[in-house]
Each structure stands twice: as C-alpha cells, then as structure tokens.
Chains A and B, each alone.
Chain A
Amino acid sequence: MAVTAIFGARVKRKEDPRLITGKGTYVADITPLGCLYVAFLRSPHAHARIKSINASKALSMKGVIAVYVGQDIKGKLNPVPTGWPIATDPPIKIPKYYPLPLDKVRFQGEPVAAVVAENYYIARDALDAIEVEYEPLPTVVNQEEAVKESAPLLYDDIPNNTSFVWELKGGDVDSAFKEADLIIEKRMVNHRLQPTPMESRAVVAQYNSATNELTMWITTQAPHIHRLLISGILNMPENKIRVIAPDVGGGFGSKIPTYGVDALVAFIAKELKRPVKFVEDRRENYLATAHGRDHIQYVQLAAKKDGRILGLKVTSYANLGAYLSTAAPGVPTYLFGLMLSGAYKIKAVNCKVYGVLTNTAPVDAYRGAGRPEATYLVERMVDILAQRLKMDPAELRKINFIKHDEFPYVVCTGIQYDSGNYERTLEKALQLVEYKKMRGEQAKARAEGKLIGIGISSYVEICGLGPSRAVRGTGFSLGLYESATVRVHPSGKVTVYTGTSPHGQGEETAFAQIVAEEFGISIDDVEVVHGDTAMIPWGMGTYGSRTVPVGGGAIAIAAKKIIEKAKKIAANMLEVKEEDLAFEKGRFYVKGAPSRGVSFQEVALASYQGEQLPAGMEPGLEATTFYDPENFTFPFGTHVCVVEIDKDTGQINILKYVAVDDCGRQINPMIVEGQVHGGIAQGLAQAIWEEAVYDNSGNLITATLQDYAMPTAMEIPSFITDSTVTPSPHNPLGVKGVGETGTIASTPALVNAVVDALSHMGIDHIDIPLKPERIWKLLKNR
C-alpha cells in the first residue's frame, strides 16, 4: 500500500459537520406529507390471557383513523423469525412471535393494540380509551426459576421454558480436572442491561399502491436483514421493499433485531395507503426493545499449584426473554462459549448453556454480545485463582498467556486466534499504571486502613464476523461476508457504497481514508453511502466489530480491482506495457521516465469516454466485491483499574484507568480512541451502576432514565489509553475491529480492582453491579 499518510491519520470526521449543526437526519425527523402516527397500547401484565379488547370508544374519537389488534393481523402477518436458529440436539424450540399477540401477552410492555391517528397526541389519547380484559397468569422472570418443573409455562409446547440446551466440548475436561491440584467453584451473575442508545427506535413506512413499493426508514444496524425478514413477515417480495437507515443515533446491538412492530407499521401503511410513523418513547424503548446479557453461570476452574490453568467447566442459564429475538440464540452460546479460553492456554473447556424463556423483554446482542459475559467470567476466575495461590495476578496471567510466537493458535474451543502479543499489552499497561509503585502505595494505604485495589483484565475477543462457512455451521441464517461497490465518476471523484451500516462509528471517514489511500486522492473526493437498500449492494450491516475488518476489507479489494483496470487503461493511453508503469500519489507514470504519466482523474475520464480503452475492455470504472473473510479477527489488550473504596459509604472512586488495546492496524487512531472511551464507560456502567430489574410479577422497575442508572460525566473518569499494533494476517487491511473491546475489558478490570481492595478481608467475589449499598453491606458485616 502506498504511503500517503491518509490511512492511519487522525482525520476529522466527515460525518460531523451535519451532526454538530443540527442538520443530521434521524428517522424521527422524517415526516412524509399526510403522515399518520401510531401509538401502541402495551400490556401492563407480564403474563396474561387477552379475553377481550374493545376499541370502539377510541375509534369514535376525532382524529383516530384505525385501531389494530392481534385478530386483525391473523393470517395476514407471519411471525417474526429468528435469524440465528442454532443447531442443537434436540432442536431449538422457537416460539411464534407475532407483531401483535393473538391470545396471550408474555412480557410487560408487549404491544396489544396499535392506534393510528392524525397526530401523536390524539393517538396517545386514544390509548386510554381502549378497554382490554386480561386474565392474569402466573409469572416467571428468573431463568433458574423458569426451568423448574413447578414454573409456569410461557408456551404449552415448550417444556421447562427451555428453548434449547447447547453444549460445547473442547478438549478432555475430565483428565484436565483429574490432573488439577485445586478446583475453584463459583456462581456468577452477569445481570441484565438496557442498551440505551440515546435515540430510541423509530419506523416510518410509506406505500405506493400503484407500484406495490414500500419504503421504510428504520433505526437499524442492518437494513438488508431488516428488509429480508420484513418481506417474510409481510409476504411481500423483497425487491419491492426499500429500507433506509438514515443517521442512526447509536444501537449497541439493540437495533440489529427486526421487531414485530416494524413490520406492523409497514402493514398499516399498506392497509391505509398513507405514510405511517412510529417513534418509541424511552419507556417503550426500555420495556420492549431488546435487553442484553442476563446469564447465571456456574463455573469450575481446575489449576495446578504453580498457577497453570488446566480446564474450565461452565453451565450457564441464559435468560432469553419471552420470544427469540433475531440473534438471541447465538449470543449466549457461540459468542460466549467459544471465547471461554480467553487469552490463555487452557487444555479443556466444557460449556453447557440453557436458553430459557421468561416473562421479560427479549434479550439480544448488546455491545460485546456474549464475549463480555465470557471475559468477565474468565478474568474473575483468574483473579480468584491468583488470590487462592497468593500469586500476583499479572504474573499468573503471564504464566497462562498464549505466547506471541505461538500464533496462529488454535484454542481448545476449536477456533484459531489469528495473531497476538498478549505479553506486550500487559507490560505496557502495567508500565502506564506504574504497577509496582501502585502495589507499594496500596500496601501503605492498607496499613492506614484505606481500601485501595488494583484490577487487571487481559481480554481477547472474536470480531470481524465472520467467515460464512463458519457462521453457517452455527445455524446463522445467512453468510457474514460484506459487500462494497467503489464507483469512480468521470471527474475522478469517488463514491463508496458499503453493505455495512455505521451509526456513529465513523466509517464515512475511515472508509474514505482507505479509498483515498489506495487511489492517492483527497478524502474530500470520496463520499461513502450506506444504509439504503436501493443504493448499496446486499450487505450484512454493522455489529460484532465487523464493519472495518469485513466491510473495509471489501472496499480495499474493490479499490484494488479498480487500480488494476485503471493501470491497463493508463498503459494504453501512454502506449507502454502495463508492467512498465508505476502508480504513486494518484498518478500512473512510466518507470524511469516519471514525467510521462497520466493522473488518476485523467484515467477516470478516459474510462467513460471509451476510445482510449484497450481493445475489448468495458467502459466505466467501478468494482463490486463480496468479501468473505477466511477467519474471524481477535483483538486483545489489557486494562488496569485502580480504585479506592469509601469505607463509610461503599462508594467506589476510580483513581486511575489505563487501557492498552490492540486492534491491529488503525485507520484513524482518533476514532479508535473514541471507540475505546465509550466502550470502557459502558463496561464500567455495568460494573457499578446499571441494572435492569424486574420484580417477581414481571414489572420492569427500571423503565425510565430516572430509574435506570446510566452514568453521567460526573461518574465516568478520564481514561489513559494506548495501543500496540499486531496486524491481522488474513484480512486485506490488517485490521481487527475495536467497537466492543472497551466494554469487554472494563467490567472485569473494575470488579477485580474492587475485590482486590477487599481481598484481605477474605472476599474473593462480589456480584455486579457494585452499587455502594452492596459494598457497604458487605463491609458492615465483616
């Protein structure tokens, strides 16, 4: 690759001018002429039979156009399919998930009726006028309760509320445990979270009855997947639906799934032949948009006295909520189990996951998706082992690390880590935090009665989802390649069409940097188009830190194809052989005679004029690529957190936070740092503050931002970030992805620090979130 310092530069983002001036366009900003508004009546019960619905009063209100209930869609709309029906024996049981329930509601906030009105206020008024008679049923919200024989059943045909039991057997776990000097057992709760993108979900649908064309603006991370699933729900040809994701205000996984209401809004637009708009309020977002995490894990770790970890046995109960959301089955199984070897050489890992249905909102991918649950477990167990063996946790990690000269390395769970240098990120992080000095200060502080703790977390994660053969083997409904079209216009300006769907990550800039670098042009001459199925090639979207490794890979390959063609054209224009040409800084020139050359722009024009093309060559200068990576990517790093705990209040004060991440080559280090910052904040949020709480009757008691403790600038500290660069050997750019690293690393780093601060009191584990009250109670009882 030519070095013009665009790739790797801290370039200001191309998307920002519109976003800092209020000129962005989010779905809620779009209101077609004649638009109607939908509001949903939502169930106050977590589990109830719907005996009757009377909407006549609502229908008589001025401005109310229609009311739809489950019976109105019966036979007209298909259930919402899950996109990742994992392969298990016996086969996964998939409940029917209708956009409006036909007979029963199964979680609080499930929509029961849709009111369509001339404006939002009238629609809301009409909700109060609808009478629903419910027969409340017994409720179960906890997954360990739900699998018991005595638990109420959500579905008559799904015994023990168990959708699936998934197993992974990596290595010989029995012999690993036989060899062990010690075995540590723990129960760990990785609690439920509410993803909370600042923009809640929204849908606008517009239907043209003459052409049978449906246009939908959706807050989505995956417009083509949405289109495919919606076409199935509506029984409508996929190519008659256009899905547009305009500016999307964050997703964090919760905008991957296709929701029943999305299809329902489209159905209403078709029925009424008018544009229809639905915008969630925050309470609806919390009640009905997918939640994240929610595992209860039983862990056994086998180790030798010298610190070597031999094996791990994990049984996890994953709460899936009331229905299987789009990616739900794959998240707590493959994305969790495969990563249980962490950054370590562990001989054997056995993992069994119960996928459990409960009377709660559906659970799906949330930043990290399965990998934070695995890393938290592993990094906690490593620290508990260090504590048990009275070893330094940094040293224990070094003993067990896969060494830098052992890559590519196949871990016992069966996946091949592409590249890594775990020792280096650990060393760098320890230096930055001044580890030895800190340990000294900790000892001094402890002598003075102060509680200071240092927590390390060395993670590796699976990103760049993913090679189609591998993901199809897990039951994923499609391949996970990515597409790109790079179009050079006659003027030499370039438009890039990507199948990914960035929603804050900055790829309009990063992708322009890739192309500008390849073509030797300014990034101002490159526009990136995403999120519109009428414009982009069939693409898989943005999640799983795949956008740059897979989507960027596709762009790089397409750009190379263009250079190949452009070179042939240039050779013809200059009447020399192709191999006599060099390409540098946007110019083709004759080797040894640099004054004889043509610019990239001149070649672009010639490609559309045609007469200077080599015989038989098609005009035009564009290329489309579907890039299917040969492996996943494995970013890694070490985070170190130093905390002080206030003995009197249980309050955690973060004194220092150091993050050293390795995401391979960096296209734009400024954006990389931003991803790391935000990720750490989200992981710390899980560690200390945020928790989605249902009471036993299935009421979500954290259904507003008043109750759900999302941290502000007062709680989140500044972070010290650094990085190392270990390129991925198998993708065209050597990149690995960085969207989720911070979230994965920071929860265990913080918890390890808190437990470290309390370790001399015999404490070796505390379940998250570490709210002051929980710590204070613990201290009070010692």
Chain B
Amino acid sequence: MFKMEKNTPIKPVETQQKQLYHIKVNINGVDYEHDVEARLLLVHYIRDVVGLTGTHIGCDTSNCGACTVIFNGKSVKSCTMFAVQANGAKILTIEGLSKNGELHPIQRAFWENHALQCGYCTPGFIMQAYWLLKENPNPKEEEIRKGISGNLCRCTGYQNIVKAIMQAAKELRSK
C-alpha cells in the first residue's frame, strides 16, 4: 500500500548501551528531532516520545487501524512502521487536523452523525477517511465501506461512520 518516498540517511549515535539513531520528523507542521532505538515503533514514538496521545493502539497485528496516521500523504498504520523509517517524513495526526480552532469537515461530520461512541477508534477512522476522500472525493457507500475496512469499531456498527464520511465528502467537494 505504501512505499517510502525517499531514504534520508540516518546517523548512528554512540551511547553506553544501545545504538540510537538520530531522526528528524515533521508532525502536524512541527519539526521534531530525537535519538531513538531502531526497534521503536512509530506509534510509540508519536505517543510516548513526542507526546501526541490522540493516536491510539488497539491491537498488535495491524488489524484495528486505531493508530492510522497520514504519512507523506498516505494513510499508514503507525504500529507497522519503525520510528527510524519516519526520518525526514511529514506526518499528520488527529491533533493536526483542525485548523485555527476550527474542526475539519470530517471531524464535524463525525460529531453531527453520532459516528463515535467510546471514541477510541475514532482518530484512526477520521485519518483513514481523510486519506480516502483525498483519493476518492466522491465515493459510493460500498467504496467507503471498503476504504474503512482496515479499521475496526466495536461501538457503532459502522452505519453512522459511513454516513459521516458521505456527508464530509459532499461538503469537501463543494469547497
């Protein structure tokens, strides 16, 4: 589904115990630089190192999509990548979606259509919908259902999520 755009060279940092790698990542328009272990998952980097906890973890097999972020313009499950792979990347997370305090049309549509209950899967769904609508601004219901089938929700039965994405699509097209 996703291919690395470019391989920015990574510089090893010598420490006492483990080899760390120096990475630079832009998340939601902010530049971050950290020394990280090679095995650190991107989702743990985003949550525990950068401190953006809106991206969630719901499984350990890349099935649930709670950790979905936009990575160089493409939707990615951030539990399937290492932080070092994000060196030089531009990442958008749920925290970066609303601009100047104004909700993104997808966020608003989720609110208006009761497309969330416990909210745990919601950031992943919203980010996936963001990518989906960029790829296909005028999706049919079936295409939406297929497009979000990599994300799991236990509360809503999906009906209102589909409805919300339909509404957001319409609104984004009219912009």
Q: Which A residues form the contact surface with B (CB < 8 A)?
A: 12-13, 15-26, 28-29, 31, 62, 120-121, 196-200, 247-250, 252, 281-283, 503-506, 670-671, 673-674, 677-682, 704-706, 710, 712-714, 716, 718-719, 742
Residues of B within 8 A of A198 (CB): 56, 58, 64, 66, 118, 120-121, 152-155
- Establish whether residues B120 and A706, one from each chain, have CB atoms under 8 Å apart when the complex forms: no
Does B73 sit within 8 A of A, measured CB to CB? Answer: no
Closest CB of chain B to A372's CB: distance in Å? 16
Task: Select from chain A the residue with minimum beta-carbon distance to B95.
Answer: A22
Q: Which B residues form the contact surface with A (CB < 8 A)?
A: 17, 37, 39-40, 44, 47-48, 52-61, 63-64, 66, 93-95, 97-98, 103, 107, 110-112, 114, 116-123, 126, 144-146, 148-162
Task: Select from chain A the residue with minimum beta-carbon distance to B162.
Answer: A713
- Establish whether residues B149 and A13, one from each chain, have CB atoms under 8 Å apart when the complex forms: no
- Establish whether residues B53 and A705, one from each chain, have CB atoms under 8 Å apart when the complex forms: no
Closest CB of chain A to B18's CB: distance in Å? 9
Q: Which of A22, A670, A704 has the most CB of B within 10 A?
A: A22
Number of cross-chain contacts by CB at 8 Å? 174
- Establish whether residues A705 and B63, one from each chain, have CB atoms under 8 Å apart when the complex forms: yes
Q: How far is the CA of A676 from the CA of B162 in the complex (A)?
A: 16
Task: Select from chain B the residue with minimum beta-carbon distance to A12.
Answer: B111
- Establish whether residues A678 and B155, one from each chain, have CB atoms under 8 Å apart when the complex forms: yes
If A13-B114, A674-B114 touch, does A21 touch B94 (CB 8 Å cutoff)? yes
- Establish whether residues B118 and A197, one from each chain, have CB atoms under 8 Å apart when the complex forms: yes
Task: Select from chain B the residue with minimum beta-carbon distance to A10.
Answer: B114
Q: How far is the CA of A121 from the CA of B38 in the complex (A)?
A: 12
Residues of B within 8 A of A705 (CB): 59, 61, 63-64, 152
Q: How far is the CA of A621 from the CA of B129 in the complex (A)?
A: 46
Residues of A within 8 A of B61 (CB): 282, 704-706
Residues of B within 8 A of A21 (CB): 54, 94-95, 97-98, 103, 107
- What are 19 of the A-B contact pairs (CB < 8 Å)? A13-B114, A21-B98, A22-B53, A29-B53, A121-B40, A198-B120, A198-B155, A200-B58, A247-B119, A249-B56, A250-B117, A250-B118, A252-B154, A679-B157, A704-B59, A713-B146, A713-B161, A714-B146, A716-B159
- Establish whether residues A16 and B59, one from each chain, have CB atoms under 8 Å apart when the complex forms: no
- Establish whether residues B157 and A677, one from each chain, have CB atoms under 8 Å apart when the complex forms: yes
Closest CB of chain A to B154's CB: distance in Å? 5
Supply 18 further A-B pairs (C-beta < 8 A) apart from A15-B119, A283-B60, A681-B157. A20-B111, A20-B119, A21-B94, A22-B52, A24-B54, A197-B120, A198-B118, A198-B154, A199-B58, A247-B120, A250-B120, A250-B155, A503-B118, A704-B60, A705-B63, A712-B149, A713-B149, A719-B157
- Establish whether residues A714 and B120, one from each chain, have CB atoms under 8 Å apart when the complex forms: no
- Give which listed residue, A17, A25, A28, A704, contacts B57 with CB less than 8 A: A28
- Give which listed residue, A23, A26, A505, contacts B117 with CB less than 8 A: A505
Residues of A within 8 A of B57 (CB): 28
- Give which listed residue, B64, B112, B119, B146, contacts A24 with CB less than 8 A: B119
- Establish whether residues A506 and B117, one from each chain, have CB atoms under 8 Å apart when the complex forms: yes
- Establish whether residues A199 and B120, one from each chain, have CB atoms under 8 Å apart when the complex forms: yes
Residues of A within 8 A of B111 (CB): 12-13, 16-17, 20
- Establish whether residues A249 and B119, one from each chain, have CB atoms under 8 Å apart when the complex forms: yes
Residues of A within 8 A of B56 (CB): 26, 28, 198-199, 249
Closest CB of chain B to A774's CB: distance in Å? 23
- Give which listed residue, A120, A704, A719, contacts B159 with CB less than 8 A: A719
- Establish whether residues A677 and B154, one from each chain, have CB atoms under 8 Å apart when the complex forms: no
List the 7 closest A-B pairs by CB distance, nearest first.
A22-B54, A249-B120, A504-B118, A19-B119, A681-B157, A22-B94, A677-B157
Q: How far is the CA of A19 from the CA of B155 in the complex (A)?
A: 14
Q: How far is the CA of A704 from the CA of B58 in the complex (A)?
A: 11
Q: How far is the CA of A25 from the CA of B60 in the complex (A)?
A: 21
Q: How far is the CA of A266 from the CA of B175 in the complex (A)?
A: 53
Closest CB of chain A to B119's CB: distance in Å? 3
Q: Which of A20, A29, A673 has the most CB of B within 10 A?
A: A20
- Give which listed residue, B47, B154, B160, contacts A710 with CB less than 8 A: B154
Q: How far is the CA of A28 from the CA of B53 in the complex (A)?
A: 9
Closest CB of chain B to A123's CB: distance in Å? 13
- Establish whether residues B54 and A23, one from each chain, have CB atoms under 8 Å apart when the complex forms: yes
- Establish whether residues B145 and A714, one from each chain, have CB atoms under 8 Å apart when the complex forms: yes
- Establish whether residues B117 and A678, one from each chain, have CB atoms under 8 Å apart when the complex forms: yes
Residues of B within 8 A of A200 (CB): 58
Task: Select from chain A the residue with minimum beta-carbon distance to B39.
Answer: A121
- Establish whether residues B116 and A16, one from each chain, have CB atoms under 8 Å apart when the complex forms: yes
Q: How far is the CA of A248 from the CA of B114 in the complex (A)?
A: 17
- Establish whether residues B95 and A199, one from each chain, have CB atoms under 8 Å apart when the complex forms: no
- Establish whether residues A674 and B156, one from each chain, have CB atoms under 8 Å apart when the complex forms: yes
Residues of A within 8 A of B150 (CB): 712
- Establish whether residues A677 and B159, one from each chain, have CB atoms under 8 Å apart when the complex forms: yes
Residues of A within 8 A of B149 (CB): 712-714
Q: How far is the CA of A247 from the CA of B116 in the complex (A)?
A: 13
Closest CB of chain B to A193's CB: distance in Å? 12
- Establish whether residues B114 and A673, one from each chain, have CB atoms under 8 Å apart when the complex forms: yes
Q: How far is the CA of A702 from the CA of B35 in the complex (A)?
A: 37
Residues of B within 8 A of A29 (CB): 47, 53
- Give which listed residue, A20, A283, A712, contacts B122 with CB less than 8 A: A20
If A22-B94, A121-B37, A673-B114 touch, does A504 touch B155 (CB 8 Å cutoff)? yes
Closest CB of chain A to B42's CB: distance in Å? 14
Q: How far is the CA of A682 from the CA of B152 in the complex (A)?
A: 12
Residues of B within 8 A of A23 (CB): 54, 95
Residues of A within 8 A of B114 (CB): 12-13, 670-671, 673-674
Task: Select from chain B the residue with minimum beta-carbon distance to A19.
Answer: B119
Task: Select from chain B the residue with minimum beta-carbon distance to A718.
Answer: B159
Q: How far is the CA of A121 from the CA of B18 in the complex (A)?
A: 12
If A121-B40, A198-B66, A282-B58 touch, does A20 touch B118 (CB 8 Å cutoff)? no
Q: How far is the CA of A248 from the CA of B155 in the complex (A)?
A: 12
Closest CB of chain B to A672's CB: distance in Å? 10
Residues of B within 8 A of A121 (CB): 37, 39-40
- Establish whether residues B118 and A199, one from each chain, have CB atoms under 8 Å apart when the complex forms: yes
Closest CB of chain A to B50's CB: distance in Å? 12
If A19-B119, A20-B107, A26-B56 touch, does A710 touch B152 (CB 8 Å cutoff)? yes
Residues of A within 8 A of B112 (CB): 12
Q: How far is the CA of A20 from the CA of B110 in the complex (A)?
A: 8
Residues of A within 8 A of B59 (CB): 281-282, 704-705
Q: How far is the CA of A85 from the CA of B116 in the complex (A)?
A: 36
- Establish whether residues B146 and A282, one from each chain, have CB atoms under 8 Å apart when the complex forms: no
Task: Select from chain B the residue with minimum beta-carbon distance to A23.
Answer: B54
Residues of A within 8 A of B126 (CB): 20
Closest CB of chain B to A244's CB: distance in Å? 16
Task: Select from chain A the residue with minimum beta-carbon distance to B111.
Answer: A16
Closest CB of chain A to B22's CB: distance in Å? 18
Residues of B within 8 A of A13 (CB): 111, 114
Residues of A within 8 A of B94 (CB): 20-22
Q: How far is the CA of A40 from the CA of B142 in the complex (A)?
A: 42
Residues of A within 8 A of B52 (CB): 22
Q: How far is the CA of A23 from the CA of B144 in the complex (A)?
A: 26
If A21-B54, A197-B154 touch, does A713 touch B148 (CB 8 Å cutoff)? yes
Task: Select from chain A the residue with minimum beta-carbon distance to B57.
Answer: A28
Residues of A within 8 A of B103 (CB): 17, 20-21
Residues of B within 8 A of A505 (CB): 117
Q: How far is the CA of A679 from the CA of B155 in the complex (A)?
A: 8
Closest CB of chain B to A198's CB: distance in Å? 4
Residues of B within 8 A of A706 (CB): 61, 63
Residues of B within 8 A of A247 (CB): 118-120
Closest CB of chain B to A679's CB: distance in Å? 8
Q: How far is the CA of A677 from the CA of B154 in the complex (A)?
A: 10
Task: Select from chain A the residue with minimum beta-carbon distance to B148.
Answer: A713
If A21-B103, A681-B158, A704-B59 touch, does A713 touch B120 (CB 8 Å cutoff)? no
Q: How far is the CA of A200 from the CA of B118 in the complex (A)?
A: 12
Q: How far is the CA of A197 from the CA of B98 in the complex (A)?
A: 27
If A22-B53, A28-B57 touch, does A678 touch B122 (CB 8 Å cutoff)? no
Closest CB of chain B to A371's CB: distance in Å? 19
Q: How far is the CA of A677 from the CA of B119 in the complex (A)?
A: 16
Q: How far is the CA of A505 from the CA of B153 in the complex (A)?
A: 14
